[in-house]
Structure 1
Amino acid sequence: MTHAGPGRPRLREPRRPGATARAEILDAAAELFTTRGFASTSTRLIADAVGIRQASLYNHFATKNDILVALLEDTVEPTIEFDAGLDDNHPAAVRLCALAWFDTAQLCAGRWNLGALYLLPEVRTEQFGRFRAEREQLAVRYRDLAAEIVGENDPRAGLPFRLVESAIAIRADDERVDAKLPEMLATASLDVLGVSETAAVKRRARALVIGVPDLSPGR
């Protein structure tokens, strides 16, 4: 995540959520990018929303694009880290369900629907190469897990990733997202692949998502 430097100590009361001035900047930018539009938002507008001088914003981010890079990378990196911690000894269906559950929860948890920014033309530029590579890494992971279930050449292997990212469109239609949406899309990811006994799979996946060992019989 790119920023210009460590910034200066905070000398004011915070106006927005965030433990640091940098976090406040990200929150303000997220709101403006998703409500006003990226092209229509200037660094001055972001600074005004935070209650700091524009020059102070540059202590944390050199450009508006750098802010967008940080926001987008934050939407995929926690899920990549979660997936890296999954034990390969779990069946593919359990790992896929846990991944979809966690990923959807990440897309729904933020105050602003940042996934809606994925298709901005700016994101196709070289500066966003790391984000695009990380998102593709996730897509490949979904396909690989699905292929373990239905076979390498089954066209359904690409569906779970798309189902999870449908959370972005759902949020765009209605910000009051159902709290059960992560579980629903994780279940749909299993159903579309024809997985049977989904209740048992979901129980084990949920334990992985919340960090509680699954001690159920038959593990």
Structure 2
Amino acid sequence: MTGPGRPRLVESRRPGASGREEILDAAGELFVTRGFAATSTRAIADSVGIRQASLYHHFPTKESILAALLDSTVEPSLRYARTLADLGGDPALLLWALTAGDSWNLLTDRSNLGRLYLIPEADAAGLSAFHAKRRELHGIYRTLAAQVVADPKDPRCALPVRVTESVIAIRADDPTMAAPADGPLPASAGLVADSALRILGIEPTDALREAGTALVATHRHAAPPPGDDRPE
């Protein structure tokens, strides 16, 4: 279904439970492979198999599509990070679980949408909400890292989140790293989490990995708690 409007040009050819999701899937692939500036809304509509007017029913501009795509890369990880931060406890364990779960999120989308972070259009003023969420996510990483090393001024505190985001570049070089959204924790995500702790001088133990994997399984897809009115 694409919502009100004229019928489709062809049968659905994109994954997604709604016309909006199909448009985002097509746009993400085209923005990553062709570039944002070189991709027209007509090309996106053709890739979905809908008329351009139907696309505008869901998104008024190409920039609004980019905003939705960028938000989709950070929102699940931020909710997960908030949940872990609220749990409290061993910061090394929480940081391992955060890095593993966030890396897994970056491994799941079809088009490696994290690559959009680097395009010039990602700095547009209209994307301030995305940048605020990303800063909050980075802040949670940094806070946990500072607790691990017991020194918020330690320059290493900025590194774990960058280790996680290195998954984006690694996937660009090796697309086979992509992982399903569900199932057991991908081994590559666990290795990234190990690396994040080693940068801080902590060698992960099997017990920590087991506990961290359990946190990922329990909380990565958890819905936000009722009444969570923190700014988005």
TM-score when normalising by structure 2: 0.84
Mapping of 1:90-101 within 5 angstroms? 90-101=89-100
Distance 1:39 1:205 in 2: 41
Please name the residue that 2:191 is paired with. Answer: 184
Q: Name whichever of 38-47 and 151-160 sits farther off.
A: 151-160
Structure 2 runs not aligned, ≥5 long:
179-185, 220-232
| Correspondence for 1:199 | 206
Report what 1:120 is aligned to: 119
- Which consecutive unaligned segments of at least 5 residues does structure 1 have? 1-5, 213-219
Q: How many residue pairs get matched?
A: 207
Show CA shifts across 1:84-131 (max 9, x none): 222433211111111101110011101011111102111112111011
Deviation at 1:138, TM superposition (A): 1.0
After superposition, what is the alpha-carbon deviation per residue over 1:180-206, rounded to whole angstroms, capped at 9, x for unaligned?
Answer: 221110110111111145322221111
1:26 and 1:71 in contact (8 A); partners too: yes
Q: Give how far 1:208 is off.
A: 0.7
SS state of the match for residue 60, structure 2? coil
Quote the offset at 1:11 in angstroms. 4.7
* Structure 1 CA distance for aligned equivalents of residues 53 and 138 of structure 2: 38
1:216 is matched with which residue? none
Counting only pairs closer than 5 Å after superposition, residues 148-187 of structure 1 correspond to structure 2 as: 148-150=147-149, 151-177=151-177, 179-187=186-194
Give 1:171's aligned amino acid: R
Q: Runs of 4 or more off by more than 3 Å in structure 1?
A: 9-13
Match of 2:12 in 1: 14
Q: What is the CA RMSD across the aligned residues, in angstroms?
A: 1.7
Normalising to structure 1: TM-score of the pair? 0.89
Q: Residue 135 of structure 1 aligns to which amino acid in structure 2?
A: R
Q: Distance in 1 between matches of 2:27 and 2:131?
A: 20
8 Å CA contact 1:10, 1:21 repeated in 2? no
What corresponds to 1:215 in structure 2? Answer: none
1: CA distance between counterparts of 2:145 and 2:213?
A: 18
- 1:7 shift after superposition: 3.9
Matches within 5 A, 1:35-184: 35-86=33-84, 87-150=86-149, 151-177=151-177, 179-184=186-191
The letter for the 1-side match of 2:37 is A
Which residue identity is paired with 1:155?
Answer: P
* Residue 9 to residue 209, structure 1, CA distance change in 2 (3 Å): farther
Equivalent position amino acid for 1:89 in 2: G
